[in-house]
Homo-oligomer: A and B are copies of this chain.
Amino acid sequence: MGAPLKIAIAGLGTVGGGVVKALSAQAAQLAVRAGRELVVVGASARDAKKARGFAVPNFTTDPLALASSDADVVVELIGGEEGPARALVEAALANGKHVVTANKALLAKHGKALAAAAERKNLQLKFEAAVAGGIPIVKTLRESLVAYEIQAVKGILNGTCNYILTEMEASGASFADVLKDAQALGYAEADPTLDVGGGDTAHKLALLSSLAFGVAPDLSHMTVEGIQHITPADIHFASEFGFRIKLLGVARRTASGVDQKVHLAMVRARSPLANVDGAANGVLVDAGQAGPFFFSGRGAGEAPTASAVVADLVEIARGSCTPVFGRPATELAGFKAGAGDAAFTPWYLRFEVLDLPGVLADIAGHLSAAGVSIESMIQRGRAHGAPVAIVMITHEAAQSAVERALKAIAASDKVRARPCMIPMEAA
């Protein structure tokens, strides 16, 4: 057996605590797997007085102190793309320490530079916990699906959004009401913007995109939408058509580069992604000739995330030497945005209109002028002069054409809110 791997952990919240407990509970088995013991030699957290239910040696409130400790590896669980998280990771690498992190924001923004810093010193920078919790999708893209060119990655990557959409479907309640309940239950943050606005999904998608396509992680070329504007009616109509509404992160190889989007999609009720329920995550990888692969499981929470961190630690203990993003950072191509208009699908459209003569003719006219033809239409309830919802499914149409029509329609004074458009995915 080799010398113990000395571990310092920055951040003792849910995940950090889970890592400390798992390393202790499974110490013997992990030592057998790693060929050496995994020992926590230090830890930091903001609150020195908090009762945590477990002990750590050399506690400090200064995370940066861990970078100059005698640890072999620093586990960064602070979060945030700048500030102490970034300072700690940079200092740890500069001081010759491996790093394990769950910080998607940091890597989405600084991933290439940090990977280069690690690789220059033959250090590992591992981040399985940053994407999809316990699902080993980072390792799978980095090491397993490497023989053929990956064509696309589509994921349900944010458990809070998926929980809210699932609850809205089950209860018929509004987004605002379900969000309030989720906050009370601890499933959503007090400030939920990063989750429900799609930003967290965007961070994770940038990492998957880098692993899948060999490009530097990039957030600047990405359209991002959230789930705030979904109504119970949309979910109900989706179900009538045999679909479910999901927030997806989608990255596709195109002729000119990589197309990355976080967007709402209607997915067929029997498809794997449609059946990812509640706070779970799921990722579909189109691995080209090798076909599609699907992975699902718990994407957040103590044990699933600690599972990912501990796996990274065991690998470092064993002496892993895979590049951070699967290819050396020096070989990662600059991000080149592919044509964003690859989506040529049927569309779900919802208009909130005043029930006045001619409103349907106006809408149909604008769609027709943009070359978008209507496959079916539902209008429920009639109340002259009052607001009603009109829902349409189009035949296959380009996103740009639908957007053109909706812009013209939204300008009408009979239309009360921004029209809603959601692509209906083939898979």
Contact = CB atoms under 8 A, between A and B. Distances in A.
A289 B287 CA distance: 30
Q: Which 7 A-B pairs have the closest CB atoms?
A: A293-B297, A136-B144, A147-B310, A289-B303, A291-B298, A290-B307, A147-B307
A147 B306 contact: yes
Interface stretch (A6-14, A54-62, A323-331, A346-354): A323-331
Nearest to A145: B307
Contacts of A139: 136, 139-140, 143-144
A295 interface: yes
Given A290-B134, A293-B297, A147 B26 contact: yes
A263 to B, nearest CB: 24
Given A287-B134, A303-B289, A327 B33 contact: yes
Given A32-B327, A134-B287, A328-B32, A303 B146 contact: no
B144 A311 contact: yes
A417 interface: no
A200 interface: no
A367 interface: no
A16 to B, nearest CB: 14
Interface stretch (A73-81, A100-108, A179-187, A312-320): A312-320
A310 B32 contact: no
A214 interface: yes
Contact of A294 (B29, B146, B297): B297
A264 interface: no
Contacts of A303: 147-148, 288-291
B136 A311 contact: no
Given A26-B147, A146-B310, 19 more contacts: A26-B148, A29-B149, A30-B146, A32-B214, A35-B328, A136-B145, A139-B143, A145-B311, A147-B303, A147-B310, A148-B307, A270-B275, A272-B296, A290-B306, A291-B297, A291-B304, A292-B298, A318-B321, A318-B322
